[in-house]
Amino acid sequence: MDRIAGSPKLTPSAQAATSELSPDQQRNSSERAFSVDQLHGMPVPPQDHPHFEMPAKSDADDAQSSLEKEVDLYRAAHPMYEDEGFDAAGRLHEEALKVSRETVQKFFAGEVPPHDDPRDLRPLVLFLVKNNMPNAISWLAVHADIGKLDLTSCSLGDADMQTLADWLRTCPKPMELDLHHNNIGPDGVMALAVALRESGLTSLDLGNNRIGNDGVRALCQNLPSAPRLQELRLQDVGMDNDGVAALADALPVSELQKLSISDTDARIDNAGAGQLAKALGNNPALKQIRLVFSGVTDEGWTQIARSLKSNTQLQGLNINATMQPESARDDQFSLMLADALRSNRTLQNLKVVGIDLSRSGAAALAASIRSSASLVNVSWPRSPLAEDVAVRGDRGIDS
């Protein structure tokens, strides 16, 4: 990339459009917050600072021939190529994340790139993040009429989170932010977490970033001050029982409606499940929860089931367990769940994967499901449950 001093090298039409900006808009605007109406009224995006880098790629030099692209795609799709296939897929992904000079020039002239999905704008958004332009990102969100920034698998690190934190503080419209599968650590999450207090962010996905317990604690410390945040996704983020404890403490005083936690490394065990169960029993605002735990056995899941006896908020429970066969044969969980469902009046959707049911466990659950006043959908793959339940017309039971 070439570093450009002053405005980017724009086409004459872009320069004309830029001249329509007020002096306030043309000056360094990284610390300014614009309203939706102000952003709508700007013919071109605000430049957050006068020095930034233009991309090296041009539209004319989408340099791979169509034949080379086809070969790479074929290698990526066929496992016989193994390393070559992964390399080809990686090259294609890197290329897809690069924005061209022409696209950037048109953007600063006030043209929003064609898009059918927020992911189509990912190369341009990534460029704006890397060049520290939070207000330009907000302008794009308003003019493209999108409600989500999808930055999955963009190799973003802790340093990039400061730009996104600045964007969170200044973006005037409700937004979702998907940062799944990047290189974000605890420091990056801390920057985002503090910004949540001033943000209209409604959903945050940090899955497959190794933020660890420290990152989770930083989020939890700020959850009570982030009433607009409705959904948090923490799949395989490297936390253990300590991270779960922080979440359990924060849930009763947060406004989260949806929570997804995944731990396929068995860092979270029955003690962690117990802490989460206690929080659920205290009736947080949560409406939906998804739990994927490989280190939790029947004992831990039984504690989760018991929490439904006192919880009057949860509408959806999705459990995905990986348990040893000897643990899966214990009917503690199914019997406790059957007992809890008899008194629970709010749960509408139940899905359980990875826990085998005995005939006695299935029979107890079947009776509770038949008499439930709230359950609409039940899914328990590879179990005899569906055979034992006479499915009523207003609910589906998927085996």
- Residue 394 predicted with pLDDT over 50: no
Contact 148, 179 (CB under 8 A): no
Mean pLDDT across 233-260: 97
Identify the pLDDT of residue 284: 84
Please list, residue by residue across 134-149, b when 16 or more beta carbons sit within 10 angstroms of its beta carbon and e when fewer do.
Answer: bbbbbbbbbbbebebb
Enumerate the domain spans of the chain: 118-398
Which tens digits make up the pLDDT trace of 133-158? Answer: 999 999 999 999 999 999 999 999 99
Cα separations in angstroms, 378 against 13, 162, 369:
58, 43, 9
- Residue 185 predicted with pLDDT over 70: yes
- Residue 241 predicted with pLDDT over 50: yes
Identify the pLDDT of residue 84: 53
Main-chain dihedrals φ then ψ at residue 317, nearest 5 degrees: -130, 120
Cα separations in angstroms, 362 against 321, 332, 334, 395:
17, 12, 7, 17
175: exposed, middle or buried (Cβ count in 10 Å: 0-12, 13-18, 19+): buried
CA–CA dist 357, 359 (Å, integer):
7
Please state which CATH number belongs to domain 118-398: 3.80.10.10
- Residue 78 predicted with pLDDT over 70: no
Identify the pLDDT of residue 95: 76
Lowest-pLDDT range, 21-25, 177-181, 309-313?
A: 21-25
Which tens digits make up the pLDDT trace of 274-317? Answer: 999 999 999 889 999 999 999 999 999 999 999 999 999 999 99
For residue 269, what are the contacts with CB-CB under 8 A and spacing of at least 6? Answer: 241, 295, 296, 300
Mean pLDDT across 55-82: 61
CA–CA dist 132, 164 (Å, integer):
8
Top-confidence residue, 151 or 354: 151
- Residue 11 predicted with pLDDT over 50: no
Identify the pLDDT of residue 233: 98
Of the pLDDT bands very low, low, confident and very high (cuts 50, 70, 90), residue 68 is: low
- Residue 234 predicted with pLDDT over 90: yes
- Residue 82 predicted with pLDDT over 60: no
Of the pLDDT bands very low, low, confident and very high (cuts 50, 70, 90), residue 72 is: low
Per-chain mean pLDDT for the chain: 84
Identify the pLDDT of residue 213: 98
Question: Can you tell me which residue has the tokens 């600072």?
Answer: 49
Strands (DSSP E) contained in 210-250 are 231-235
For residue 62, what are the contacts with CB-CB under 8 A and spacing of at least 6? Answer: 100
Contact 147, 174 (CB under 8 A): yes
CA–CA dist 141, 129 (Å, integer):
13
Identify the pLDDT of residue 190: 97
Of the pLDDT bands very low, low, confident and very high (cuts 50, 70, 90), residue 356 is: confident
CA–CA dist 97, 92 (Å, integer):
9
Mean pLDDT across 8-14: 43
